[in-house]
């Protein structure tokens, strides 16, 4: 008898108890038999036939997942009044200790020394940050694969001995995922995103709540994960897309100098807000022209529209297009985390909706007398 490895499906979902992970698991047990088929001219032909013996489908609980304090899944979200008004949540409690995940940065650097040259000419894309959701998803995927391999080996052991296959709960060890996540938070050693046998540190730190200011500063730290064995000089420099959003002066001493930075107090890291198809439907209301797959369409005097790097259409008046889309964003018709950039030099309008972008608030002030006087050079810097 054999176990079909392709029939094992493990899905991640959430049930009513937010601390548990539920999986929809199925597997097929079959045997291989030699069969014959009669052909018209060549006689008989033998082949191997797979005969299905058992087909199992079951929903099992395969582990427990730590929940962020005051998140949508946390019980404290429903509490009207908390213990401390300065406690906004955003951390995990593991074995009585408060753990906080430091944002990780991806390597996307520019070696240009001139800031203006980097921002205006050399800058192509913003650097992305990985939040606790992405980090926890990668760590959870590693432990799920480990539990899956253990379960398949246990099933194959019973099949080789010609024993009956038991229920899925008998082979699934839920402690692998639960203890793996708990060990990652406790030891602060997480799985490497690219190397299977290596671990990385600095992802999780113990949160100190001596005063609210220290807690806020600790939770807004970002860390750049690099290998200290190679050249890391360029990684310590400030990225052009982070000017005015990340303080590059307030950093750690020693080997982490320039790798650990602090976010601004008003910064917001974007999440995955909308699918590309849904945002394109809103763009048609702003006079977006459909991109045709032919060579006869004229692109003269038209600007290209890009959504997360994908060319989705054209527009005749990019100024009016951007103004209408920003007006929809201020009226909350589209999510406020959408980033809109008009590049007049290249004739492009770039729209970003992906996760990991650093955003800061923009205060739009209309009909302010001081601004009009400042444009008319009535006031100078010494007057303020």
Lowest mean pLDDT among 40-49, 101-110, 279-288: 101-110
Between 377 and 330, the more confident residue is: 330
Q: Tell me: pLDDT of 10 over 70.
A: no
23-27, 189-193, 324-328, range with greatest mean pLDDT:
324-328
Lowest mean pLDDT among 124-128, 154-158, 245-249, 303-307: 124-128
Lowest mean pLDDT among 39-48, 72-81, 136-145: 39-48
Packed helices 175-187 and 132-160: angle between N→C axes, nearest 10 degrees: 140
Where does the chain have alpha helices with state H?
A: 115-117, 132-160, 168-171, 175-187, 212-219, 276-284, 318-330, 369-375
| Model pLDDT, residue 165 | 73
pLDDT band of residue 258 (cuts 50, 70, 90) is confident
Query: Residue 146: phi, psi to the nearest 5?
Result: -65, -45
| Model pLDDT, residue 295 | 62
Q: Tell me: pLDDT of 115 over 60.
A: no
pLDDT band of residue 68 (cuts 50, 70, 90) is confident
Grouping H, G, I as helix, E, B as strand and the rest as coil, residue 34 is strand
Q: Tell me: pLDDT of 94 over 80.
A: no
Q: Tell me: pLDDT of 257 over 60.
A: yes
Q: Tell me: pLDDT of 44 over 50.
A: yes
Grouping H, G, I as helix, E, B as strand and the rest as coil, residue 308 is coil
Q: Tell me: pLDDT of 280 over 70.
A: yes
| Cα–Cα distance for residue pair 171/157, rounded to 1 Å | 11
Q: How many distinct helices (H) and strands (E) make up the chain?
A: 8, 21
| Model pLDDT, residue 15 | 28
Lowest mean pLDDT among 15-24, 63-72, 284-293: 15-24
Q: Tell me: pLDDT of 340 over 80.
A: yes
| Model pLDDT, residue 82 | 61
| Model pLDDT, residue 56 | 67
19-23 mean pLDDT: 61
Instruction: Name residues whose C-beta falls within 8 Å of residue 125's C-beta, 6 or more positions apart in sequence.
Output: 108, 241, 309
- Using a pLDDT cut of 90, give the percent of the chain over it: 0
Q: Tell me: pLDDT of 291 over 70.
A: yes
pLDDT band of residue 119 (cuts 50, 70, 90) is very low
The token pair that represents 380 in the structure block: 């100078």
224, 130 in Cβ contact below 8 A? no
Q: Measuring CA to CA, how many Å separate 376 from each of 287, 365, 379?
A: 35, 17, 8
| Model pLDDT, residue 285 | 85
**For the chain, which domains are there?**
276-354 (3.90.1070.20)
pLDDT band of residue 105 (cuts 50, 70, 90) is very low
Tell me the average pLDDT of the chain. Answer: 70
Q: Tell me: pLDDT of 216 over 70.
A: yes
């Amino acid at each position: 008898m054999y176990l079909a490895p392709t029939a094992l499906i493990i899905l991640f979902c959430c049930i009513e108890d937010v601390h548990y992970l539920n999986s929809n698991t199925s597997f097929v047990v079959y045997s291989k038999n030699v069969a014959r088929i009669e052909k018209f001219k060549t006689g008989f032909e033998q082949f191997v036939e797979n005969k299905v013996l058992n087909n199992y489908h079951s929903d099992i609980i395969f582990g427990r997942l730590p929940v962020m304090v005051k998140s949508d899944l946390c019980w404290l979200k429903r509490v009207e009044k908390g213990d401390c008004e300065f406690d906004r949540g955003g951390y995990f409690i593991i074995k009585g200790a408060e753990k906080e995940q430091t944002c990780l940065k991806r390597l996307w650097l520019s070696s240009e020394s001139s800031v203006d040259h980097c921002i205006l000419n050399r800058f192509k894309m913003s650097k992305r940050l990985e939040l606790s959701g992405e980090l926890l998803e990668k760590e959870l995927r590693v432990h799920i694969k480990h539990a899956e391999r253990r379960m398949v080996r246990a099933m194959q052991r019973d099949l080789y001995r010609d024993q009956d296959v038991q229920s899925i709960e008998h082979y699934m060890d839920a402690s692998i995922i639960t203890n793996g996540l708990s060990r990652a938070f406790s030891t602060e050693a997480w799985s490497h995103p690219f190397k299977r046998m290596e671990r990385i540190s600095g992802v999780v730190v113990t949160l100190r709540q001596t005063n609210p200011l220290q807690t806020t500063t600790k939770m807004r730290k970002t860390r750049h994960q690099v290998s200290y064995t190679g050249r890391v000089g360029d990684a310590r420099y400030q990225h052009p897309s982070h000017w005015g959003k990340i303080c590059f002066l307030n950093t750690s001493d020693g080997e982490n100098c320039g790798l650990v930075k602090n976010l601004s107090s008003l910064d917001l890291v974007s999440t995955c807000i909308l699918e590309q198809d849904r945002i394109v439907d809103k763009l048609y209301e702003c006079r977006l022209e459909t991109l045709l797959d032919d060579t006869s369409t004229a692109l003269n005097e038209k600007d290209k529209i890009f959504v997360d790097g994908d060319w989705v259409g054209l527009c005749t008046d990019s100024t009016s297009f951007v103004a209408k889309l920003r007006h929809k964003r201020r009226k909350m018709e589209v999510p406020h985390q959408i980033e809109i950039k008009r590049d007049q030099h290249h004739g492009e309008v770039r729209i970003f909706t992906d996760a990991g972008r650093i955003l800061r608030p923009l205060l739009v002030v209309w009909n302010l007398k001081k601004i009009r006087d400042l444009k008319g050079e009535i006031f100078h810097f010494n007057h303020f």
